């Protein structure tokens, strides 16, 4: 009988997934717990020449470690 993945603490679930790499159900529960959008920075640039330049400036600054 499989453990209840939804009640399992995150660290325990990660350890389980690493030990049982073929268990897709456990992996899906682990992935569903992720919330990358809560940590993401969203940039909304208009589709214009100026917006393109702003986007390139953000990429440049990000690559250079300024932001």
CB 29 within 8 A of CB 13: yes
pLDDT at 24 over 70: yes
More confident residue, 26 or 38: 26
pTM of the model: 0.52
DSSP 8-state code for residue 40 = -
pLDDT, position 19: 97
Instruction: Quote the pLDDT of residue 43.
Output: 73
Q: Tell me, what's the pLDDT at 38?
A: 66
Q: How far apart are CA 52 and CA 56, in angstroms?
A: 6
State the pLDDT at residue 7. 95
Distance CA 38, CA 62 (A): 19
The string of pLDDT tens digits covering residues 29-52 is: 999 888 777 677 777 777 889 888
């Amino acid at each position: 009988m499989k453990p209840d993945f939804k009640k399992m603490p995150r660290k325990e679930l990660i350890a389980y997934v690493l030990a049982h790499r073929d268990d897709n159900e456990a992996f899906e529960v682990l992935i569903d717990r992720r919330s990358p959008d809560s940590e993401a920075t969203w940039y909304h640039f208009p589709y214009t020449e100026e917006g393109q330049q702003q986007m390139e400036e953000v990429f440049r600054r990000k690559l250079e470690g300024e932001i």
